Structure 1
């Protein structure tokens, strides 16, 4: 299984009054990583996949440890845990991924629904999108692929 890797910079404004990255800011980090992941298919080859829009149907987030502001970015790893006919679930870990440590700050998941902006309604996942997403689906989770 491949994981999408996104290096996310920390900003001074991300801190709360206690000097930690604010809990709400982690959702922005997930959004940045998710957009980078989902739009990898579209720009380079002119594919229309995912360009029509998508909406977040659900977030789950577990805060494992506080992240203190610093100048080095954090790593956001993303992968797919479920592909349905008209939705997918993306899992994440926000962590330091250095030789010295592999500290995990957040584990999270997001249910994403492809959306037809012109029609104003959800749409099905295309064959091209499904093929792209399957590269990020763990091989052992055969039941994660829903027709």
Structure 2
């Protein structure tokens, strides 16, 4: 996936009954939660804690998702995460969402992750370990 950058992480997430909407498929907002879970797992794998009491951490300044086909319960989604273009304090992340056992792409998206000082709310340099994992 050259256009999406370097492969960073893959996770599997069971679809919960409550993830569905009135139409019987996963609600559009839930896809962002699936992407978030992959991102949090990747950050933790790099040795960083995620939570309200950390001195620095990741925030998202924009996010998008394109939906190609509805996901239905029961299923397990597979989220593949990629990254590229690390800057001083940010990195672009990209996501592909599949249903386990299928080759069909159900959704893809992206988000710009900014590393910030949680006390001041100001951006700070991206940690070297995160930068290295994307480069």
Q: TM-score range by the shorter chain?
A: 0.7 to 0.9
Q: Distance in 2 between the 1:84 and 1:43 partners?
A: 19
Which ranges of structure 1 fall in alignment gaps of 5 or more residues? 45-49, 135-147
Which ranges of structure 2 fall in alignment gaps of 5 or more residues? 1-5
Matched positions, count = 126
Q: Distance in 2 between the 1:51 and 1:103 partners?
A: 40
Q: Is the CA contact (8 Å cut-off) linking 2:11 and 2:78 kept in structure 1?
A: yes
Partner of 1:62: 66
The CA RMSD over aligned residues, in Å, is: 1.9
Find runs of 4+ consecutive structure 1 residues off by over 3 angstroms: none
Q: Is the CA contact (8 Å cut-off) linking 2:7 and 2:83 kept in structure 1?
A: no
Partner of 1:47: none
Report the 3-state secondary structure (helix = DSSP H, G, I; strand = E; otherwise coil) of the residue aligned with 1:2: strand
TM-score of the pair, normalised by structure 1: 0.78
Partner of 2:105: 104
Q: For the structure 1 residues 115 and 37, does the alpha-carbon distance in structure 2 shift closer, same or farther, using more than 3 Å as the test?
A: same
Report the 3-state secondary structure (helix = DSSP H, G, I; strand = E; otherwise coil) of the residue aligned with 2:85: strand
